[in-house]
Chains A and B, each alone.
Chain A
Amino acid sequence: MTTIRLSVPETADRGEIIELRAMIQHEMESGFRFGSRGEMIPQDIITKFECFYNGTLVFSSDFHPGVAANPILKFYARANESGSFEFVWTDQNGQSWSDSAQIEVS
């Protein structure tokens, strides 16, 4: 089971710039490590992160092997309307995970 942790404020004033945090549990196996028998451990990483605000892409990121395991991101967004933030991670094989959080904008 993959753990996802989000931090999105529950309420915000219209136009306020809010802080968002998103973390996913993932090894982010770089492909540059060796196992106990000296064999190279194949690369297995998340390559794409996207954040949608009511369906509109507001922030995205491309991950490379230089991103640490259990990748965490902190970024910002302008709160314009009530709705949801959806966070989507996609790995190199196309598997994806997502979670969302609601925000009340007044």
Chain B
Amino acid sequence: MMKTQSPLLSRRTMLRLGAVSVSMLMIPRIAAATEDEMNEAINAMFGDRVITEGRVNVDLPPIAENGFSVPIDIFIDSPMTEDDYVKQIVVFSPRNPLPVLAQYHLTPMSGRADVSARIRLGGTQSIRVIAEMNDGTLWSGAKQTLVTLAACVID
């Protein structure tokens, strides 16, 4: 008896493809923010002030299996003294329904500009973090992460 099995499209693969397409049809779509909307949000918050790349280190897992809870660690190179400290950290997303995810306000009493949290990601994207120093200068860093299960039911 000859076994008939296509190496490319097995029964199992076909079933999987079917399940994926059905689940995609079932997910209602919400307009996700775009790169432009993120830049607008950055503009609304900081105006046309110069944002320099650097000093901001963003750590995200390279692959986020669950977009509903993704660990993020932000570290900013700052002495955190009375004269030189990080005042504010803002996390921006180009793909979530809302471009601003979280804001952290630090003081010289923080001692160390290092914050860890858990955020939601509505898809594979490059998260941008902007830090505002006490002297008003702005620094930014970004990190790309691949999201396998997206939060916020967006595609």
* Stretch with Cβ within 8 A of B (4 or more), from A51-59, A86-94, A97-105: A51-59
A18 to chain B, nearest CB (A): 8
Q: What is the minimal beta-carbon distance from B86 to any residue of chain A, in angstroms?
A: 11
**B116 and A56 contacting across the interface, CB-CB below 8 Å:** no
Interface size on B, residues (CB 8 A): 34
The B-contacting residues of A in range 45-79, CB under 8 angstroms, are 53, 56-69, 71-78
A2 to B: closest C-beta gap in Å: 17
Contact: B153 with A68, CB < 8 Å? no
Looking at the assembled complex, report how far the CB atom of A30 sits from the nearest CB atom of chain B, in whole angstroms: 6
Given contacts A30-B152, A32-B97, A65-B98, contact A76 B107 (CB under 8 A): no
Number of interface residues of A (CB under 8 A): 31
The answer to whether A61 touches B102, judged by C-beta atoms less than 8 angstroms apart, is yes
Identify the stretch in B14-22, B117-125, B128-136 within 8 Å (CB) of chain A at 4 or more residues: B117-125
Closest to B127 in A: A66
Among A59, A67, A77, A80, the residue within 8 A (CB) of B118 is: A67
Q: Return chain B residues, CB-CB under 8 Å to A76.
A: 110-112, 114
Within 8 A of A (CB), among B95-115: 96-98, 100-112, 114-115
Q: Are B68 and A68 in contact (CB under 8 A)?
A: yes
Are B120 and A67 in contact, CB atoms less than 8 angstroms apart?
yes
Contacts of B70 in A (CB 8 A): 68
Q: Determine the distance from Cα of A56 to Cα of B96 in the docked complex, in whole angstroms.
A: 34
Asked if B153 and A66 sit within 8 Å, CB to CB, the answer is no
List the B residue with the shortest CB-CB distance to A76: B112
A17 and B111 alpha carbons, distance in the complex (Å): 6
Out of B28, B93, B103, which one reaches A61, CB within 8 Å? B103
A8 to B113, CA, bound (A): 17
**Which 5 residue pairs spanning A and B have beta carbons closest together?**
A66-B101, A78-B111, A17-B111, A68-B118, A74-B116
